[in-house]
Amino acid sequence: MSNKQAELTSGKLTLAWEKRQLPSPWLSVAIPIFSVFMALFLSGAFLAATGFNPLEIYGAMLDGAFGSAYGISETLVKAIPLALAGLGVALAFRMLLWNIGAEGQFYMGAFAASWVALTFPDLPTQIMLPAMFLAGALAGGLWALIPAIPRAVLGVNETITTLMLNYVAILWVDYLVYGPWRDPAGFNFPLTAPFSAAAQLPVYGTTRVHFGLIFALVGAVIIYIVLQRTKWGYEIRVIGENQAAARYAGMSITKNIMLVMFLSGGFAGLAGMSEVSGITHRLQHGISSGYGYTAIIVAWLSKLNPFMIIVVAFLLGGLLVGGYNTQTMGVPSATVSMIQGAILFFLLGGELLTRYRIYFTRKGENS
């Protein structure tokens, strides 16, 4: 056995990995926490090198996002569109439809809701808000249906088409707010006239937290029930896992691709509607600031689980709000973006660890 001893000490230390059959449950909690700490550690080194006290900055971020009633309310304000769009994206991802067009669907939802508010300013609230709700969801849904049809019928890859349509939607809204819809009383800013009071979603107390929060919470519950309890949700789960089996079981894949994409876009459109109706009370340039893209990360990190989407949207909302707070301390906005980026990067990277087992080993070692 002395032979083995020698191998043990002389062996070269190497890294190896093995795919996990089932993701380990406690790791899926531990790894994200660990990832965030890694990101904070690295960013901290950078902050320290650029002359800031990292602990102070992180304290300010945490405090800004979650440290006060106001901070939490602002975090919720960011979380609403992230959650709504995230629910939509996750629904499409379930069926392996790579809808990365939530941003454009958000814009179209905002546009359609604004159209209702601006065209019929005298509608009573009870009619105005449902009409804006429907218009927003419908517009987002139809916008997603444009790439869904060629995908369903001809198999045209939806990743590219949904992405390209984002630019179209953003430019369309820009055209409106710079052109025909521009508020004459708006000092030439690219925004429309404010909506009438009837077109504004109710808010909670004196905060900016609006009724869209209820949309998101109810939406999550509905999606969960539909997926787990209904026949149609069952079809979606089967199609997402194994298309051949779905066809074999007589499910219509074409129909479901279109339906799911429509609903997916509908949620993103709703996010747009609630943003104009709940926050800005008008349509304006850059209404989304990338919510539709961040929603992809929300969907991914929450592993497409609707309730996790709410939680993750809240946490990422906090990351955004906390970032703003540190800018008041003189931290450049680029650094803030970097911290945010590092956190997302480590979270997504850490994902890998829940799927693979990584371990150290010695060449020639006896396990």
Partner 1 sequence: MKKHQVMVEMKKITKSFSGNLANDKVDFIARCGEVHALLGENGAGKSTLMSALTGLYRPDSGEIRLRDKTIELKSPRDAIEHGIGMVHQHFKLVKPFTVTENIALGASTTPFLLNMDKVEAEIVSLAEKYGMKVDPRAKVWQLSVGEQQRVEIIKMLYRGAEILILDEPTAVLTPQEVDDLFETLGQMANAGCAVIFITHKFKEVMAGSDTITVLRNGQNVATVKTSETDQNKLAHLMVGREMTAKPLEKKGQPGEVVLKLDEVEAFNDKGMLALQSISTEIRAGEILGIAGVAGNGQRELAEIVTGLRETSAGKIIILGEDYTDRSPKEYISAGVAHVPEDRLGTGLVPNLNAVDNILLKNYRNHRGHFLDLKESRKLAEKMVEDFQIKLSSIDDPIKLMSGGNLQKMLLAREFHSEPKLIVTVYPVRGLDIGATRAVRQLLLEQREQGAAILLISEDLDELMELADKIAVMYEGEIMDILPPTYDNLETIGLLMAGSKCEEVGV
Residues near partner 1 (CB under 8 A) are 4, 7, 14, 16-18, 21-22, 229-232, 234, 237-238, 241-242, 244-245, 247-252, 361, 363-367
- Cα separation of 63 and 71, whole Å? 7
Beta bridge partners of 356: 19
- Is there a contact between 277 and 129 (Cβ–Cβ < 8 Å)? yes
The least distance separating partner 1 from the CB of residue 250, rounded to whole angstroms, comes to 3
Beta bridge partners of 358: 17
Judged by CB, which is closer to partner 1: 23, or 121? 23
Q: Which two tokens stand for residue 129?
A: 């808000």
Judged by CB, which is closer to partner 1: 25, or 184? 25
Judged by CB, which is closer to partner 1: 3, or 206? 3
CA 260 to chain centre: 17
Judged by CB, which is closer to partner 1: 50, or 361? 361
Judged by CB, which is closer to partner 1: 24, or 280? 24
- Cα separation of 210 and 79, whole Å? 11
- Is there a contact between 269 and 109 (Cβ–Cβ < 8 Å)? yes
The least distance separating partner 1 from the CB of residue 314, rounded to whole angstroms, comes to 29
The least distance separating partner 1 from the CB of residue 221, rounded to whole angstroms, comes to 15
* Closest of 24, 138, 47 to residue 334, by C-alpha: 47
- b/e burial code for range 213-250 (CB count within 10 A of at least 16 → b): bebbeebbeebeebbeeeeebebbebbbeeeeebeeee
Element (H, E) at 37: helix 27-49
Four-CA torsion 34, 38, 40, 44, nearest 10 degrees: 150
Judged by CB, which is closer to partner 1: 7, or 174? 7
Pairing assessment for the beta strands 356-362 and 13-19 based on DSSP bridges: antiparallel
The least distance separating partner 1 from the CB of residue 224, rounded to whole angstroms, comes to 13
The least distance separating partner 1 from the CB of residue 229, rounded to whole angstroms, comes to 5
The least distance separating partner 1 from the CB of residue 7, rounded to whole angstroms, comes to 7
Judged by CB, which is closer to partner 1: 50, or 228? 228
CB atoms within 10 A of CB 33: 11
The least distance separating partner 1 from the CB of residue 173, rounded to whole angstroms, comes to 37
The least distance separating partner 1 from the CB of residue 20, rounded to whole angstroms, comes to 11
Judged by CB, which is closer to partner 1: 28, or 252? 252
